């Protein structure tokens, strides 16, 4: 039988068998038999070598169109079979398209991030610009320029994570910043008054972790420098912040405090959310909870960055972020924020 004839017969056979192949296994078997490397067609084409050029051409053309035809037939069959499986309930491989979908687990911002965003929004609305600074810092910015000379107790190794790196050519040592205040210096070095900035960021302290302390936590720093800025500006700004964040009925209290980089220095406390000043477990019986340190920028700090303290003055503040939602919701252990317990975190959706 000549090759052309053989192929024509193969075609009839292939299409007929294809129409009978229904299951996935049968279809695959068919594919190997007719389209695979060791297919019947390959076998037949071995005979080509014995033919003349003319005959070979003809047989080649027939073989090509045969291949195209059965490939297409196979594809159609495949497609039909898939649609069939989807729609029929009797077939074994079914997908029930009437089943309800699985809901996505929707995430949300961490309570500390939520508080931070809210705080930043309040200050930007008051005209403060938002900046960020490095977590790995020089002692020069973290201490020296903030009026904390080498022998100052805040520099003791027990409070600071020092980096195991040699000092730079100016003798500056690397550390993990213990507060966001170094950004006051970095900003004043680069820009002239008027300055109004807030700096959110992570800080580190060499401290044991307990219900009220973390060795890594977040702060937000604030700084305003201009001509004629006075203590009333500080009080007004921070009072307004507290009013917007904690609500208009919450009282705030300023008391003297000491920080080397301000003079005078003050702490601001907010009336306890739970007892409203009466004293309870959350506020440790005090009725008030301290939320930030602040003060008028020390003249020595201004001088250090080349700002004339006779012409300019400023106020600064620094607030711990984790304490804020702690206060707002009456949470008793600060470690809950970073335990990644979803039962805790989901309450802040
Ligand atoms: N840096 C202080 C701290 O970490 C907070 C602070 C106090 C920041 C007074 C200030 C300030 O800017 O004026 O506890």
What does 160-221 look like in DSSP terms, one character per residue?
--B-SS---TT---EEE-SSSTHHHHHHHHH-PSSEEEEEEEEEE-----BTTB-SEEEEEE
pLDDT digits (tens, 9 = 90+) for 123-171: 999 999 999 999 999 999 999 999 998 888 767 756 899 999 999 999 9
Instruction: Return mean pLDDT, the chain.
Output: 89
What does 259-328 look like in DSSP terms, one character per residue?
-TTEEEEEEEEEE-TTTTTS--TTTTTSSEEEEEEEEEEPHHHHHHTT--TTT-EEEEEEEESTHHHHHH
Quote the pLDDT of residue 87.
Answer: 57
Ligand 1 pocket mutation, candidates 261, 269, 315, criterion most atoms within 8 A of CB: 261
Lowest mean pLDDT among 9-23, 158-172, 257-271: 9-23
Q: From the CA of 205, how far away is ligand 1's center (Å)?
A: 14
pLDDT digits (tens, 9 = 90+) for 75-115: 888 888 777 666 554 556 677 888 888 888 888 999 999 99
Ligand 1 pocket mutation, candidates 259, 264, 300, 316, criterion most atoms within 8 A of CB: 259
Whether pLDDT at 180 is above 80 = yes
Task: Quickly state the pLDDT bin for 14 (edges 50, 70, 90).
Answer: confident
Q: From the CA of 24, how far away is ligand 1's center (Å)?
A: 72
Do residues 332 and 295 make contact, with C-beta atoms less than 8 angstroms apart?
no
Arithmetic mean of pLDDT, 62-68:
87
Do residues 81 and 25 make contact, with C-beta atoms less than 8 angstroms apart?
no
Residue owning the nearest CA to atom 12 of ligand 1 = 317
Domain spans of the chain?
3-87, 111-345
User: Of 62, 205, 63, which is closest to residue 142 (Cα–Cα)?
Assistant: 205
* Residue whose token pair is 């730079």: 168
Residue owning the nearest CA to atom 2 of ligand 1 = 318
Q: From the CA of 46, how far away is ligand 1's center (Å)?
A: 89
Q: From the CA of 302, how far away is ligand 1's center (Å)?
A: 16
pLDDT digits (tens, 9 = 90+) for 196-220: 999 999 999 998 888 878 999 999 9
- Count of C-beta atoms within a 10 Å radius of residue 304: 17
Q: Which fold has domain 111-345?
A: BirA Bifunctional Protein; domain 2 (3.30.930)
List the Cα angle 75/77/79 in 5-degree steps. Answer: 70
Ligand 1 pocket, Cβ-based, cut-off 6 angstroms: 179, 181, 221, 259, 262, 293-295, 316-318
Quote the pLDDT of residue 93.
Answer: 62
Whether pLDDT at 275 is above 60 = yes
What is the percent of the chain with per-residue pLDDT over 90, rounded to a whole number? 52
| CA dist., res. 145 & res. 187, Å (int) | 12
Arithmetic mean of pLDDT, 25-49:
84
**How far are the Cα atoms of 16, 17, 36, 147, 299 from residue 3, in angstroms, in the given order?**
20, 21, 19, 99, 103
Ligand 1 pocket mutation, candidates 229, 317, 321, 322, criterion most atoms within 8 A of CB: 317
Q: From the CA of 294, how far away is ligand 1's center (Å)?
A: 6
| CA dist., res. 283 & res. 272, Å (int) | 6
């Amino acid at each position: 039988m000549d090759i052309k004839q053989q192929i024509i017969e193969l075609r009839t056979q292939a299409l007929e068998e294809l129409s009978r192949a229904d299951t996935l296994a049968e279809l695959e078997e068919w594919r190997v038999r007719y389209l695979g490397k060791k297919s019947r067609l390959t076998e037949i084409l071995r005979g080509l070598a014995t033919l003349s050029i003319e005959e070979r051409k003809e047989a080649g053309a027939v073989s090509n169109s045969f291949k195209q035809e059965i490939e297409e037939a196979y594809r159609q069959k495949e497609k039909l079979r898939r649609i069939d499986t989807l729609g029929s309930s009797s077939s074994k491989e079914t997908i029930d398209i009437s089943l309800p979908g699985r809901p996505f687990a929707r995430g949300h911002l961490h309570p500390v991030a939520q508080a931070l965003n809210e705080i930043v929004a309040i200050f930007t609305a008051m005209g403060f610009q938002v900046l960020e600074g490095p977590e790995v810092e020089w002692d020069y910015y973290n201490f020296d320029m903030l009026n904390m000379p080498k022998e100052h107790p805040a520099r003791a190794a027990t409070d600071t994570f020092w980096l195991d790196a040699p000092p730079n050519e100016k003798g500056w040592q690397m550390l993990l910043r213990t507060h966001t205040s170094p950004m006051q210096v970095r900003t004043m070095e680069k820009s002239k008054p008027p300055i109004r900035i807030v700096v959110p960021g992570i800080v580190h302290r060499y401290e044991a972790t307990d219900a009220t302390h973390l060795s890594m936590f977040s702060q937000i720093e604030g700084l305003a420098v201009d001509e004629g800025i006075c203590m009333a500006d500080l009080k007004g700004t921070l009072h307004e912040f507290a009013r917007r964040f904690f609500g208009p009925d919450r009282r705030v209290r300023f008391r003297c405090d000491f920080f080397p980089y301000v003079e005078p220095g003050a702490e601001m406390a907010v009336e306890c959310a739970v007892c409203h000043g009466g004293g309870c477990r959350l506020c440790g019986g005090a009725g008030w909870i301290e939320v930030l340190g602040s003060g008028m920028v020390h003249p020595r700090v201004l001088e250090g960055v080349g700002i004339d303290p006779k012409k300019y003055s400023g106020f600064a503040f620094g607030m711990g972020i984790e304490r804020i939602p702690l206060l707002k919701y009456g949470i008793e252990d600060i470690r809950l924020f970073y335990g990644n317990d979803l039962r805790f975190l989901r309450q802040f959706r």
